A and B are shown apart, each in its own frame.
Chain A
Amino acid sequence: MTDSNVTVDIEELVIETLKELAGEPDAVTADATLEQIDVDSLDLAELSQVVEEKLGVTLKGSDVAEVTTVADAIALIQGRMGQ
């Protein structure tokens, strides 16, 4: 698997998971803010569990506290994958 494929997979995983969790699933895009799609800290805790299960990356509450957009979440996970 190349690096670019992994990047696509992470984005897809985050977006598909947030569509399950969001109050406004139709508005979930990489550009959307969490407020726009009605995603709060409990949803991020659920997202973190999915990410840990699927990708083996552990995210703590303090890690996701700075996340305000979907793109932030994707970038945070991509960064951790690269570590």
Chain B
Amino acid sequence: MREVVVTGVGAVTPLGVGARTLHERWSAGSCAIENAEGACTDFDPAEHMSKKEARRADRFTQLGLTAADEALRDAGWLGGDELPYDPARVGCIIGTGIGGLQTIQDALAKLDSRGPTAVPALCVPTMMGNAGAAAVSLKHGLLGPTFGVVSACAAGAHAIGTAMRTIQTGDADAVVAGGAEAGLTPLARAAFSVLEATSTTGISRPFDVRRDGFILGEGSGVLILEDAESAERRGARILARLRGYAATSDAHHLTAPPADGRGAAAAMRGALADAGLDAADVDYINAHGTSTPLNDRAETAAITAVLGARAGQVPVSSTKSAIGHLLGAAGAVEAAATVLALRDRVIPPTLGWAEREEGMDLDYVPDSARPLDTDRSKPAVALSNSFGFGGHNAVLCIEAAAA
């Protein structure tokens, strides 16, 4: 089967515009959570797209377009007049948890106040969950398979995993893949709050005993995935290899994981098996680590089960400690962060972690970043975990590019 490489990354997160901005600021210990939210306050759509593009897009799509532009530039795709591939061989798969939520809210307000004819003409094409993928395809003339992926907080990872398969099976030679979410709306805040999923203290501290829920965030992450042979033929700079992917389901409860995290563990084992690797090869885990009591306990149980004797030795950190939970964008943003962590050989920390919970004994990389201290004779390997309401588990296995 064909191998898949990562040749570009892009992200818009509460830490700023840019995947490298995310990686560097998170590694430096910056936390972008303010007023109990992770908002992309540095992101002004007018700086990244025409007025018309912005009008035609919900904020989640604006975020996705901007991350895709960065990733495509990073991969060296936007320098010339033409794409480096036959456009018919390039796809676009962008996940989201909800889609154009603000668009839906605004349209509903107009429907209620002024009646059906006041509902905006752009309501449907901007609220739909595939709008992000559609906008990227339209802007860059991508003619291969394009669609959205919807799996709550696992959507970004499912999108990247599905893109990997799309290349492996030969349906495309390259895929622009990621996730985008703009859920900082009154409805989303209220809806997560009544579920008691979000933090009441306003602090994201994954795996710490004091954690009390996640911090709602917004943003986007995009990876450029290419068939390895095609990428090497065009002389692309290889950032990382996407070695494995697995997706499983809990079939346990609509929103809660089983306490032993068995579905998550199965996905981690599956991703390693898909990569032809085993637990002994794992050098770092970018955890789902939401800062909810249930997720972090179950994920710890899953990681402990998968790593066996090496649990406690492998660093595990959560991007959500720095930016909050980006829902359907989280898996893609975290995959981009993992790619750059492996590339720079830096393990970013779990910010705010200070107090251990009994039975949760992993190395959560407290306080500050540290060097990735592994045997340099082989490329470093990381897992990026993503789990979603509905009991969806998606895990990516990413390997550093050969030095």
Instruction: Enumerate chain A interface residues (CB-CB to B < 8 A).
Output: 21-23, 25, 38, 42, 45-46, 48-49, 52-53
Contacts and interface: CB of A to CB of B under 8 A. Distances in A.
A52 B50 contact: no
Contacts of A52: 117
Contact of B121 (A23, A25, A38, A46): A46
B98 to A, nearest CB: 23
A53 B117 CA distance: 9
9 A-B pairs with least C-beta separation = A45-B121, A23-B52, A46-B121, A49-B121, A42-B121, A52-B117, A42-B122, A23-B50, A46-B122
22 contacts: A21-B52, A21-B55, A22-B52, A23-B50, A23-B52, A25-B51, A38-B52, A42-B56, A42-B121, A42-B122, A42-B125, A45-B121, A46-B120, A46-B121, A46-B122, A48-B121, A49-B117, A49-B118, A49-B120, A49-B121, A52-B117, A53-B118
Nearest to A25: B51
A42 to B, nearest CB: 6
Nearest to B121: A45
Nearest to B56: A42
Interface string B46-87: 000011100110000000000000000000000000000000
Contacts of A48: 121
Contacts of B121: 42, 45-46, 48-49
Nearest to A45: B121
B246 to A, nearest CB: 40
Interface in B102-131: 117-118, 120-122, 125
Contacts of B52: 21-23, 38
A7 to B, nearest CB: 25
Nearest to B126: A42
Given A42-B125, A46-B121, 4 more contacts: A21-B52, A21-B55, A49-B120, A52-B117
Nearest to B52: A23
Nearest to B117: A52
B161 to A, nearest CB: 33
A66 to B, nearest CB: 19
Contacts of B125: 42
Contacts of B118: 49, 53
Nearest to B51: A25
Nearest to A49: B121
Contacts of B56: 42
A48 B52 CA distance: 17
A25 B52 CA distance: 10
Nearest to A39: B52
Interface string B31-43: 0000000000000
* Residue picked from B118, B121, B125, most chain A C-beta under 10 Å: B121
Nearest to A58: B117
A53 B116 CA distance: 12
Interface string B122-142: 100100000000000000000
A22 B53 CA distance: 10
A4 B117 CA distance: 29
A38 B121 CA distance: 17
B252 to A, nearest CB: 43
Nearest to A47: B121
A25 B51 CA distance: 10
A42 B135 CA distance: 14
Interface in B363-391: none
A82 B117 CA distance: 23
Among B55, B120, B125, find the residue whose CB has the most chain A CB atoms closer than 10 A. B55
Contacts of B117: 49, 52
A55 B125 CA distance: 26
Contacts of A53: 118
Nearest to B114: A53
A12 B55 CA distance: 22
A49 B117 CA distance: 8
A22 B120 CA distance: 17
Contacts of B120: 46, 49
A17 B290 CA distance: 45
Contacts of B50: 23
